[in-house]
Amino acid sequence: MRKNIKAFIGFGLMWQEEKYLEHILNKLESIYGSNYHITDPFYINYSKYYHKEMGEDLKKVFTVFEFMIDKSELLNIKKFFMKVEDDFRVEGKRKVNIDPYYIDTDQVVVSTSKYRGNRIYLGGGIFAELELFYHHGSFQPMIWTYLDYKEYIPFFNKIRYIYKKHS
């Protein structure tokens, strides 16, 4: 039986003011090292979900660190970065959204504190959601996969190739 318990750690980072992205990237580098991959920033224009709390014209990037984690660590990683988000609050509002995920040869799994029927409870108010799975030569979306994960499948395929070299 194949034991697939290791994965690269990645983060979806969303912000409005550039200085917050710099602070978060510095924090991530201090924990996971400077060997990482990052998408170009893109605007979140398909949803207004975060506008009330974080403002409009929100930008996002996906980052992946060439740092192996045990998949069971996703719960504690999410809880830690929820506290980091709190450290950047201004007048009770988040200035950065940090969504940890892991990626291996088969899947991209995101952690979240929001419940939906397809999400798996990890404990401590945290859920896991399979966003992408590898099939027929590429990552494939689920019916619930967020649009940005769908649009960045080529990025995740590239990371999968790098991950395979490490495993």
Q: Who has greater pLDDT, 128 or 53?
A: 128
Q: Which amino acid is at 153?
A: I
Phi and psi for 64 in degrees, rounded to 5?
Answer: -140, 130
- Decide if pLDDT at 1 tops 50: no
Instruction: Find the mean pLDDT for residues 141-167.
Output: 95
pLDDT value of position 126: 97
| Percentage with pLDDT > 70 across the chain | 99
What's the pLDDT tens digit per position in 2-43? 578 999 999 999 999 999 999 999 999 999 999 999 999 999
Question: 5-24 burial, b for 16+ CB within 10 Å, e for fewer?
Answer: eebbbbbbbbbbeeebbebb
* Distance (Å) of CA 12 to CA 37, 115, 167: 12, 18, 23
What's the pLDDT tens digit per position in 143-154? 999 999 999 999
pTM score = 0.94
